[in-house]
Amino acid sequence: MIQHLFNNFAVLTIEVLLGGWLLRKFTDVRPFIRRLFIGVIGGSIGILLMLFSIPISNNVLLDARQIAIIMAANFGGIPAAIITAMMIALFRIVYFGVSTAAYMAIVSAFLMAVATGWISTQVHRHTVKWLLMIGATLTISVITLYFQLTVLASETLPSYILFISSCGIYSMLVLGLQQRVNEEHRIKSAFTSLASAYYETTDASEIYAVTLKRLMELFGAEFGTIFIVQQGQMMLALRVANGEYEHVKRVVPDETEGFDALRIGKSAFHSDWNRHRPHSQIEDELYRQGVRSSVHIPFYHGDKAVALVNIGATKPGTFTESDQTVFTFLNPLIGMGIAHKNAEANFEIVSEATSDAIVIADESGRIIHWNRGAERMFGYTPEETAGQSLTMIMPERFRQAHTAGYERAAAAGTSKLMNQLVEMVGLRKNGTEFPLELTLNIHGSAGFILFIGILRDVTARKLVEKELRESELRHRRLIELSPEAIVVVTAGRIGFVNAQAMRLIGASDENEIIGREVVDFVHEEDRDKVRYALQFVTLESDPLENWESRYIRIDGSLIDVELSVAAIPYHDQVGVMLIVRDVTERKLAQLKLEEANQLLTDLAVRDGLTGIANRRHFEHMLKDAWELAIQDRTPIAIILSDIDFFKNFNDTYGHPEGDQCLKQVAQALEHAAAEAGKGALAARYGGEEFVMLLPRAGLEAALRTAAFYRSGVEELAIPHAKSNVSDQVTVSIGAASLHPTPDRDPGDLVDLADRMLYRAKQEGRNQVVGAE
């Protein structure tokens, strides 16, 4: 009998593994074919189990065929279970002969198939579903056996119930273990696949498609949408329905329940739409298309929402609250990937829209970005310049000085040329030289330094200026044809304007301008500067080049202009010529570029030495947690620590060892934060001080975490010969917990923790002191 029992367990194990394999193998097969396969496999397993039957009487056999029916119901619902029951019934008659017991077994098999199949479609939690199916099977089997074994029933039924229950629970456990292993494998595969795609893909639309595809594949979903959060608005970027991808760029109203997930910062699950479903125009349409289960996941980068993903499936129960761990695991990767690609896409739009050359180089002077304006200006394609030195676009005679200046700027992280308009000489691919203007910006983030240059070819302007100095006649003729706006002023009044200047000011007739004071067209805040420039040029005869002002057009609108001013002879007087360039678009491009730079800067939230969060990020998260705690009426705690006698440590072992000590203590703090649970944040507060944020934590939890952290530092066993409390590195810790209220602020909590830290030091160090 024991041998038969082990044989049944072995066959059941094979069925579990085979059923799981079939589900993965035939994911894309039509449901009817998949259920047919499952039913046939279940029937075959049931027949095999019957071969290991244990005879109870002449006509009654004890075996685990019922578990084969449960398996078929679990994997394929009522259709698969009925197919399995038919095969078992047919084999029962053919192999064991026709009898009353056989007929009753056939009836019970079909009743089991219907009951377990129905339970499988209505209950979605694995353990509950299996226990209900086992219970239904036992009920039907016990009733059948009772009528067949009225005499032996009291002796046989306990053994039978124990046997079927054992087989069922064993199958449930093996199947549950297999599902957990498969789920972990699918999650890790999705993570790896997404990470690789984010690294290889440059187009933001492709990133959206890859993200949605991987998430839908992970759960076997048929419907999905991805919304991008931009400037407080939701833009529908991609929609998928039954394998059809539709790229969309449309701002949508905040009307679906999915947006609630974004507002509260937590995934929203609607497991079974047949029982309860969200209601909006979009969800109603999805319901008509067959969606019966959905999840709405917000993705964040840092504390900023970047996307909302909605996934829908036609099978009820596809998504449950337990899937939150999957999204928590993938959230940092997806949030970072989408945020970075969006930032890159925005920068690319700005870069390619301007006619100026935008060139970006790394700290070694190698080109990493080359826009279309640069290609037109210098003649090199982006492929030709990638990784090349900036010196390739400047004449040989300037390269040595450029290299020296570049190295100084890279070392200092700044340059006196920053945000100034600098004249240079450029070298085209064909070997010709030309004058250009450079606006330089240096951006540093996460240990990297980027040099961003906006270059403008000023060849035409330089030629005009040269010709103007040679002859008044030629000067006037060139002025009339010049593409630049040119104004001649005498005694503060306008005496001449060219056609381009009239277009710039918005005048249809020169009489609208001639004879008026030039400052009439200058913004009132810039008028004194313009008067001074006119006076300076008139008296000193030195030109002023490339300075900015704001002009007022005839219609009253403001434009940003760039001026070059020079004294010229005009009608036997000393006049002043103004070359006016509309730089409004360039200023806008610079503003957008600065915004893109600011976005990159905002992403730098980690301490450069230890790798954990920096103080700025901690204070930002503390403020958010404080406000949330006020709303939820929950406590909040922080742990503030200081390395004991750390100055002595640095003096004894040197600053390199001190840095290593800081890194190890930071790792111990981060490990303690991970043990504390979701929401805990470890950060470097400054110097040798570290801090941990514990949302929703009271003093008891804070003290427990602090003790774990203090022990963790001791376990590092970092030698400290100059410590007055131990021969190894230790920490003093102050823990504090408060219930935030609107009349208090986060600084109260920090002050309390600081006082507790002071007490810990006063009372002997290497200990935890707390208060609330």
The reply to whether 578 and 690 lie within a common domain is no
- The last residue of one of the domains, among 445, 480, 498, is 445
Span of 47-51, 482-486, 523-527, 730-734 with lowest mean pLDDT: 47-51
What's the pLDDT tens digit per position in 358-396? 888 888 888 888 888 888 889 999 889 888 988 899 899
**pTM passes above 0.85:** no
**CA-to-CA distance for 509 and 204, rounded, in angstroms?**
49
Average of per-residue pLDDT across 566-594 = 80
In a domain, 594, yes or no: no
pLDDT, mean of residues 427-444: 86
d(CA 436, CA 390): 15
Give which of 218, 215, 257 is closest to 238, Cα–Cα.
215
Same-domain status, 165 and 211: no
What is the structure's pLDDT at 445? Answer: 54
**Residue 608: inside a domain:** no
Are 359 and 345 members of one domain? no
Range of lowest pLDDT (161-170, 466-475, 553-562, 642-651): 466-475
Tell whether 607 is covered by a domain.
Answer: no
What CATH number did the domain enclosing 258 receive? 3.30.450.40
Closest CA to 312 of 221, 400, 226: 221
Domain limits for position 169:
2-183
Q: Please indicate, yes or no, if residue 192 is contained in any of the structural domains.
A: no
Residue 660 maps to which CATH number?
3.30.70.270
Q: Does residue 623 share a domain with residue 573?
A: no
Residues 324 and 406 in one domain: no
Q: How far apart are CA 580 and CA 483, in angstroms?
A: 10
Report the alpha-carbon distance of residue 686 to residue 6 in Å, rounded: 64
Residue 712 and residue 16: Cα distance in Å, rounded? Answer: 43
For 494, other C-beta atoms within 10 Å of its C-beta total 21
Helices 204-219, 153-200: inter-axial angle, 10-degree rounding: 170
| Domain finish residue from 349, 379, 405 | 349
pLDDT greater than 80 at residue 646: yes
More confident of the two residues 62 and 445? 62
Q: Decide which of 135, 152, 183 is a domain's last residue.
A: 183
Query: Does residue 765 lie within any of the structural domains?
Result: yes
Q: Do the domain assignments include residue 390?
A: yes
DSSP state of 606: B
Tell whether 570 and 626 lie within a shared domain.
no
Q: Verify that 685 and 701 share a domain, yes or no.
A: yes
Q: How many CB atoms lie within 10 A of CB 684?
A: 25
**Bridge partner residues of 768 (DSSP):** 733
As a whole number of angstroms, the distance between CA 502 and CA 487 comes to 9
pLDDT in tens, 494-517: 888 888 888 888 888 888 888 888
* Cα–Cα distance for residue pair 684/662, rounded to 1 Å: 9
> Do 266 and 317 fall within a single domain?
yes
Mean pLDDT of 661-673: 95
Q: Is residue 324 within 8 Å of residue 267, measured between CB atoms?
A: yes
> 243 and 226, same structural domain?
yes
Considering the domain architecture, whether residues 362 and 344 belong to the same structural domain is answered as no
The answer for residues whose C-beta is within 8 angstroms of residue 8's C-beta and 6 or more apart is: 49, 52, 63, 64, 167
In the predicted structure, residue 701 carries a pLDDT above the cut 80:
yes
Residues 331 and 362 occupy one common structural domain? no
Residue 455 lies in a domain: no
Task: Tell whether 451 is covered by a domain.
Answer: no
555 & 651 share domain: no
pLDDT at residue 151 greater than cutoff 50: no
Contact 69, 112 (CB under 8 A): yes
Region 701-712 average pLDDT: 95
Q: Specify the number of domains making up the chain.
A: 5
Q: How many CA atoms lie within 13 A of 249 on its CB side?
A: 3
Q: Which of 337-341, 632-636, 692-696, 712-716 has the lowest mean pLDDT?
A: 337-341
